[in-house]
Amino acid sequence: MKEVFQGFDAPDLLVGLGAPDDAAVWRLDDDRALVVTTDFFTPVVDDPYDYGAIAAANSLSDVYAMGGVPFLALNVAALPPDLPPEISAEILRGGAEKAREAGVVVAGGHTVQDKEPKFGLIALGFVDPRRAFTKAGLKVGDALVLTKPLGFGVTTTALKQDKVRPEDLAEVVGWMKRLNVGAAELGRTFEVRGATDVTGFSLLGHAQEMAAASGVQVRIAFEAVPLTAGATHYARQYIFPGGAHDNRAHFGPQVTFEGQFEDWEQLLLFDPQTSGGLLLGVAADRLGAFMAQAQADGQAAWVVGGVEAGSGVRVARDQVG
Ligand code: CO
Ligand code: CO
């Protein structure tokens, strides 16, 4: 394996394991590269259709996070042998309909038996290799824009603990099912170079990855970070998934909190997200036009911070600029 990963000369592999990103990128010619990614996970909600749709939106998100346009996918499924066939069918239907919404053809796939269900897609897309978004593309002076709120981890954990309020769950399911297609389109229009999607490593974890890859410092303004309606309700009760604590243990040493923060406020920024939004570095002189276009498109977008010289992540209560 070592030979293949470290010694294999693959000049057309533009993004691979050398500098891990949201997806691998393989150059086809000067104008086109293939974006390849896969993701699958255990159910985050009880409804099988919603689960399939969320898993598909999440899998396609890594193509959007590279600035790509997905076109083809395969199902990856592990299903318990005693799962009623109508439930399995609903999971796959949720995935297929979400793929269709994205203009993606699901051309096949593979299913194995397993005790706990798992579902996702292998997704392929195209990107202009000169215009791909990477985690290394942030520039000092960029504004950081986030396109979905935080609070998915605490809310789905509240569901697992039978403590969720139905309206909070409905809100979060709606966000998790939403494709990042519009956010990626905006990023291409305004020539974004630095981007990722906020998923399991949390806002601060993914921000730290981008800061390290780009050789910059990321600044986050806590009061500017959008939260779902129930996020603080569950965070105050410490209804966090284990991953929030793992993220803080792993990424915390590179994060500085300036000013007064409650412990649960800090932990909320480490909350793992499923099918979260894109985090985009937008050039300061294009930010006004970017936000105006987002509003015109009905695309959610919040300026949550910026990029400056240095390293790591610093979080203040306010001061976006
Ligand atoms: Co990603
Ligand atoms: Co992923």
Instruction: Pick the range with the lowest mean pLDDT from 6-15, 201-210, 254-263.
Output: 6-15
Please report, for the domain that includes residue 51, its CATH number. 3.30.1330.10
Looking at the structure, tell me whether residues 160 and 262 fall in a common domain.
yes
Say yes or no: 86 and 159 in one domain.
no
- Categorize the per-residue pLDDT at 103 as very low, low, confident or very high, splitting at 50, 70 and 90: very high
Please identify, among 127, 161, 184, the residue that sits at the C-terminal boundary of a domain: 127
Regarding whether 98 and 9 lie in a shared domain, the answer is: yes
The answer to whether residues 24 and 62 touch, using CB atoms and an 8 Å cutoff, is no
Residue 218, pLDDT > 70, answer yes
Which ligand approaches the C-alpha of residue 22 most closely?
A: 1
Asked whether residue 321 is domain-assigned, the answer is no
Domain of residue 94: give its range: 3-127
β 118-127/33-41 pair status? antiparallel
Residue 22, CB-side half-sphere exposure with 13 Å CA sphere = 35
Q: How far is the CA of 105 from the centre of ligand 2 (A)?
A: 20
Rounded mean pLDDT of 95-106?
Answer: 98
Catalogue the E-assigned strands of 18-104.
24-27, 33-41, 69-79
- Is residue 169 domain-shared with residue 27, that is, in the same domain? no
Whether 320 and 229 have beta carbons less than 8 Å apart is answered as: no
In the predicted model, is pLDDT for residue 4 greater than 70? no
Of the chain, the percentage scoring pLDDT greater than 70 comes to 97
Taking the CA of residue 297 as centre, how many other CA atoms within 13 Å lie in the half-sphere pointing to its CB? 19
Average pLDDT over residues 241-269: 97
Identify the H or E element spanning 48. helix 48-64
Alpha carbon of 123 to ligand 1 centroid (Å)? 12
Residue 273 Cα, ligand 1 centroid: separation in angstroms?
11
| pLDDT tens per residue across span 69-80 | 999 999 999 999
If asked whether residues 141 and 267 sit together in one domain, one would say yes
* DSSP class per residue in 212-255: HHHTSEEEEEGGGS-B-TTHHHHHHTT---HHHHHHHHHHGGGE
Q: How many angstroms separate the Cα of 246 from the Cα of each of 84, 205, 220, 222, 306?
A: 35, 10, 20, 20, 25
What is this structure's pTM? 0.95
Are 161 and 304 in a shared domain? Answer: yes
- Report which bound ligand comes closest to the CA of 209: 1
Q: Which ligand is nearest to the CA of 39?
A: 2
Asked, for residue 104, whether it belongs to a domain, the answer is: yes
Query: How far does the centroid of ligand 1 lie from the alpha carbon of residue 176, in Å?
Result: 14
Q: How far is the CA of 24 from the centre of ligand 1 (A)?
A: 11
Domain end (from 69, 96, 127): 127
Residues 55-63, mean pLDDT to the nearest whole number: 98
- In this predicted structure, the answer to whether residue 321 has a pLDDT above a threshold of 70 is no
